[in-house]
Amino acid sequence: MPELPEVEVTRRKVARMLVGRRIAEVVTTRDSYVFLTRPAVLAERLRGRRVEALERAGKYLLARLDDGARLLVHLGMTGELGGDGLPGEAHTHVELRFADGGPPVFFRDVRKFGKVQLLAAGERSARLDRLGPDALHARGAELCARLVGRRAPIKAVLLDQSVLAGVGNIYADEALFEARLSPLRPASSLTPAECQRLAAAVRAVLRRSIARGAGYREEPDDFRVYGRGGEPCRSCRRPLRRVVVAQRSTHYCPRCQRAGARGASARRRE
Ligand SMILES: [Zn+2]
């Protein structure tokens, strides 16, 4: 599944193909659960509109149009937005053709878990309203405020998109390792200093992934703990552990990422 870095890399790439161009025609597949706005309505309302910006909120992409409307795209599991689709191909659900006669932009999705929706000017979206601060920019204080009263393990709470928007399974594990926090710690037990450390680690692992070109094309070598259960920790050489938290596989170093205050004070003595 595309995580935030892949969505951000897509945004930067597709913005260059989209922004400033006027849509002349929209070709879609027939109505399906990909379309939160019916394809006929989508085609009619996009025609003649100019794209002013391509923005991102968590894992959603939002094309802002010159009439104030926004085209929301979620890539789901296998969605792709870009310029190199095949016209008329069965998995190309939306093709945007432009008034300048230049190359079209395609939304393609083999498994159809992706979503496309047109939000009218000023229209709110429950999907966007429930997102917390964007993980790429989130500050420690914002994170801390959202952990109050949350006794579930920090790993599970980090995956809640209302806490930080855009943190997925891979980057939650990587950030907790970088912040030296056990994924099993009750979220509400994090101190303000630990929240700062975790927010900084989340930003850092996402930025590194974006700089590499990002997302599910990354190699296992790019990760320090994710997918490496049983392998030696890169810091202390002891075996990494794999456990299941909130039904998601979770990888961590039981030595470097100790749980609780006792672990923290023991570490200080070392
Ligand atoms: Zn370790």
> Which residues are found with C-beta within 5 Å of the ion, ligand 1?
233, 235-236, 253, 255-256
| DSSP-based three-state secondary structure for 77 | coil
Alpha carbon distance 213, 207 (integer Å): 10
| Catalytic entry in 52, 248, 254, 255 | 248
pLDDT of residue 1: 72
CA of 180 to the centre of ligand 1 (A): 9
pTM of the model: 0.87
CA of 235 to the centre of ligand 1 (A): 5
CA of 219 to the centre of ligand 1 (A): 21
Alpha-helical runs (H) found in the chain: 4-18, 39-46, 126-129, 140-147, 154-158, 169-178, 192-212, 260-269
Start-to-end CA distance of the chain, whole Å, equals: 40
- Annotated active-site residue 248? The verdict is yes
CA of 11 to the centre of ligand 1 (A): 35
Write down the residue that tokens 């692992």 correspond to: 205
Q: What average pLDDT is seen over the chain?
A: 91
pLDDT of residue 219: 63
CA of 148 to the centre of ligand 1 (A): 28
pLDDT of residue 267: 45
pLDDT of residue 263: 43
pLDDT of residue 217: 56
Alpha carbon distance 45, 25 (integer Å): 10
- Annotated active-site residue 59? The verdict is yes
CB 187 within 8 Å of CB 150: yes
Decide if pLDDT at 220 tops 90.
no
Residue 187 in tokens: 């979220």
Alpha carbon distance 13, 54 (integer Å): 10
pLDDT of residue 87: 59
| Catalytic entry in 45, 49, 59, 146 | 59
Alpha carbon distance 2, 196 (integer Å): 26
Alpha carbon distance 157, 245 (integer Å): 10
What would the mean pLDDT of 229-250 be, rounded to a whole number? 95
What would the mean pLDDT of 213-223 be, rounded to a whole number? 67
pLDDT tens profile 5-56: 999 999 999 999 999 999 999 999 999 999 999 999 999 999 999 999 999 9
CA of 262 to the centre of ligand 1 (A): 17
Confidence band of 144 (pLDDT split at 50, 70, 90): very high
- Annotated active-site residue 3? The verdict is yes
pLDDT of residue 106: 92
Alpha carbon distance 214, 211 (integer Å): 7
Decide if pLDDT at 216 tops 70.
no
pLDDT tens profile 105-132: 999 888 888 999 999 999 999 999 999 9
